[in-house]
Amino acid sequence: PWGYDLWLNFEPLDDARLKDAYREAITGMYMEPVGATGQIVYRELTEGLGSMLERPLESLPAPAGMKSAEAGLLLVATWDRLPRFIREIMDRPEIPAEGFLIRQVRAGEKKHLVLTSADDAGLLYGAYRLLRLVQTHQPLDGIDLLDAPKTKLRMLNHWDNLDRTVERGYAGFSIFNWHTLPELRDPRYADYARANASVGINATAVTNVNSNALVLTAPYIRKAKALADIFRPYGIRLYLTARFSAPMEIGGLETADPLDPRVIAWWAAKAGELYAEIPDFGGFLVKANSEGQPGPQNYGRSHREGANMLADALAPYGGNVIWRAFVYSEEDPDDRAKQAYTEFAPEDGKFRENVLLQVKNGPIDFQPREPVHPLFGAMPETPMLAEFQITKEYLGFATHLVYLPRLFEEVLQTDTYREGPGSTVARVVDGSLHDKPLSGMAGVANIGTDINWTGHPFGQADWYGFGRLAWDPNLDSGDIAEEWIRATFGNNPVVVSRVQALMMRSREAVVNYMTPLGLHHIFDSSHHYGPGPWVDEHSRPEWNPVYYHQADSLGIGFDRTSTGSNAVAQYAPELAERYGDPATCPEEFLLWFHHLPWDYKLRDGHTLWEGLGLKYQEGIDTVSGMLSDWQGLKGLLPDAAYRDVEMRLGIQLQEARWWKDACMLYFQTFSGREFPEGMEPPAHPLNYYKNLKFPYAPGIRPQWD
């Protein structure tokens, strides 16, 4: 079966000339494996280089001096453990925490390769980088590569339940088997940690944000400890989700009021219990007073009071509270897109130092395209994590090929103007915008028990790319795609360039065939698979797609300008002005911010109605091109992966048509206009699409209460 090795398959190099060059650059290795991480580094380098260069990597004893050493020695050690003669010929480099240096040094006629770092994690990251350099055919001659993560927290969030179902998971069951832990240490746990470490991920919350208090009971803490022990040598800290009502559910208290002394004492004791088992426990990830989850507001307290109480419990041990800003309330009649900002922006500066606010990339919910969340850059005093979804809840699940790092990059490169031009979201993520020591990125994992981990083979690229962007939010998504393709499918230039081109257009394709021109949240209810723009029967208005598109006989779109909800006012003036006027609003956000007449003229001269149909068609045409480009690669790719992706692209094409037909037929009931020329006519009448049912579509959240 294809795919278990991910981007770490270390196939023998097929380019003989290159292989010779690498064999000359690395003739043997000097390394004293220190500790569990050192063992991993040693094993990875000997096995990985041995396999790619098809020659066992000989381990050499520390040479007494440069003269006696063979040329092409690979020296691997943290700086203070490097042999003295090497340190003497190198200027002491400044290597930040978790960073590494790969440098070719010269001693007389001989060249050697040095991999060094300030700490164990840096050595590990450096080892994976060195392997990737060889794997992707990068030259080592003259190399002087210093790299370090730009962020402190690079984190996965698993929406995995204790019973192994995964909320919004499309790649099988949870890889975490709480039933057989702690005794059964599935080797997959280490393989998972290894894959994360290879892209720099250094934290993981293994339980669902819609949480179960059981995980904080003593038996489960022992299970969690087993995982933490496996993750530790890979530089990964474990987090758990904390259910706010846990003191009642598992602690026997009759309240969870964050100001009640018994509740405070309960959490303090719980923290002590956790750290006794897991000394480097990361902390709590909390979803409170959101979509039915309990929280401080149940007791008339604020999010700040709730978060600070938990932060105080963890502070003595160096733990963090990651508090999610994903809130919108049943009682609040205001535009859902505004509610998180309204709630949290005024609280800036009032959280404890170890509270991070975790903010989704957009103000609604992981749509194919959203403007950035207005909270980015708006809370200069509050540590922040940007939350992205790696699992593709609103993007065709694991069936559609959509290269997400392109989406992440678009968000990261958006200028918030909060501190003038250049205040990108990337600078919020790396902490440089407001000089924050603690910041980073969280990604909702797309990982499950499927043999290839992610269901869709290209889902691996999303996991990989998330890690790379969390490491450095200014990386280019095209470069990341290229790295991933080379590491996964090899270095054939035809494969590399065509697959990269296909990935890079896949993101715009999905926007076009699902939600063009700023439409959003018009998905069928609960499972969010396929179109359901007509859905209007849910009790809460903002759970209905009709709330988001607001189509009527006059036009379509959500007025978020001053004549409507005025959500634009939550952005910096530069953005508020640009988004607030349809003439300057980027067309990709048009219907996000404006309700416009069907005959509104788009920039290319088409009416809005025509433009909508043509965008849907464009999405379909792109997918159809992706499919034929893929078919052109037959024979150049591993057969199993080739066939799997071909079938999935076939489904994606069918479903792109389904989206167009369903949405355009439905919107036609308001516009009353003919379909534009150039749009393929729908295959069935509207009722056919309305009557499609998907009772077993995955991803509906289990009810805890």
CB closer to ligand BDP, 330 vs 577 = 330
User: 10 vs 341, which CB is nearer to ligand BDP?
Assistant: 341
Half-sphere exposure of 191 (CA within 13 A, CB side): 19
Q: CA 395, CA 413: separation in Å to the nearest integer?
A: 21
Find out whether 170 and 180 touch, Cβ atoms under 8 Å.
no
291 is catalytic: yes
Report in angstroms how near the CB of residue 287 gets to ligand BDP at its nearest.
Answer: 5
User: Length of the chain, please?
Assistant: 705
Residue 243: C-alpha distances to residues 214, 222, 246, 705 (Å): 9, 18, 5, 13
Residue nearest to ligand BDP (CB): 365
CA dihedral 616, 622, 628, 633 (to 10 degrees): -150
Cβ of residue 208: shortest distance to ligand BDP, in angstroms?
A: 8
CB of 391 to ligand BDP, least distance (A): 9
Tokens (6 digits) for 471:
């490491």
Query: Closest approach of Cβ 159 to ligand BDP, in Å?
Result: 7
At residue 337's C-alpha, the angle toward residues 444 and 584, to 5°, is: 110
Cα 488 to Cα 7: distance, rounded to the nearest angstrom: 5
Number of neighbouring beta carbons within 10 Å of residue 272: 12
Active site residue 44: no
- Closest Cα partner for 223 from 186, 187, 181? 181
Which is closer to ligand BDP, CB of 76 or CB of 441? 441
CB of 506 to ligand BDP, least distance (A): 21
The structure tokens 């989704």 sit at: 360
Nearer to ligand BDP, 326 or 453 (CB): 326
In the complex, minimum distance from the CB of residue 266 to ligand BDP, in angstroms, rounded to a whole number: 25
Annotation marks residue 365 as catalytic: yes
Angle formed by the axes of helices 120-135 and 477-489, to 10°? 70
Q: 346-350 long-range CB contacts below 8 Å, 24 or more apart?
A: 347/302, 347/303, 347/304, 347/379, 347/382, 348/378, 348/379, 348/380, 348/381, 348/382, 349/381, 349/382, 350/304
In the chain, the N- to C-terminal Cα span, in Å, equals 40
* Whether the Cβ atoms of residue 401 and residue 650 lie closer than 8 Å to each other: no
Question: Cβ of residue 290: shortest distance to ligand BDP, in angstroms?
Answer: 6
Pair 466, 192: CB distance under 8 Å: no
Residue closer to ligand BDP by CB (options 81, 538) is 538
Rounded distance between C-alpha atoms, residue 382 and residue 384, angstroms: 6
Out of 365, 409, 415, 655, pick the active-site residue.
Answer: 365
- E-assigned strand segments in 603-660: none
Nearer to ligand BDP among residue 393 and residue 508 (C-beta) = 393
- Rounded to the nearest whole angstrom, what is the least distance from the CB of residue 209 to ligand BDP in the complex? 5
How far apart CA 593 and CA 369 sit, in angstroms, is 13
Structure token digits, residue 333:
């009649």
Of residues 203 and 209, the one with the C-beta less far from ligand BDP = 209
Q: Which is nearer to ligand BDP, 255 or 526 (CB)?
A: 526
Q: Among 11, 191, 291, 305, which one carries the catalytic annotation? A: 291
CB of 210 to ligand BDP, least distance (A): 5
Query: Is the CB of 209 or the CB of 519 nearer to ligand BDP?
Result: 209
Q: Please give the structure tokens belonging to residue 699.
A: 């991803």
Q: Which of 393, 450, 482, 483 is catalytic?
A: 393
How far is residue 287's CA from residue 295's CA, in Å, rounded to a whole number? Answer: 8
How many other C-beta atoms can be found within 10 angstroms of the C-beta atom of residue 180? 12
Half-sphere exposure of 139 (CA within 13 A, CB side): 4
Number of H helices, E strands in the chain: 21, 16
As to burial, measured by CB atoms within 10 angstroms (0-12 exposed, 13-18 middle, 19+ buried), residue 141 is exposed
322 or 637: CB nearest ligand BDP: 322
Q: How far is CA 29 from CA 25, 89, 232, 632, in A?
A: 11, 18, 25, 42
219 vs 702, which CB is nearer to ligand BDP?
A: 702
Q: In angstroms, what is the minimal distance from the CB of 443 to ligand BDP?
A: 12
Residues that bind ligand BDP (CB under 6 A): 167-168, 209-210, 287, 291, 326, 365-366, 393, 701
Q: How far is the CB of 689 from ligand BDP (least distance, A)?
A: 22
What number of CA atoms fall less than 13 Å from residue 294's CA on the CB side? Answer: 19
Residue owning tokens 């496996």: 230
- Looking at the annotation, which residues are catalytic? 291, 365, 393
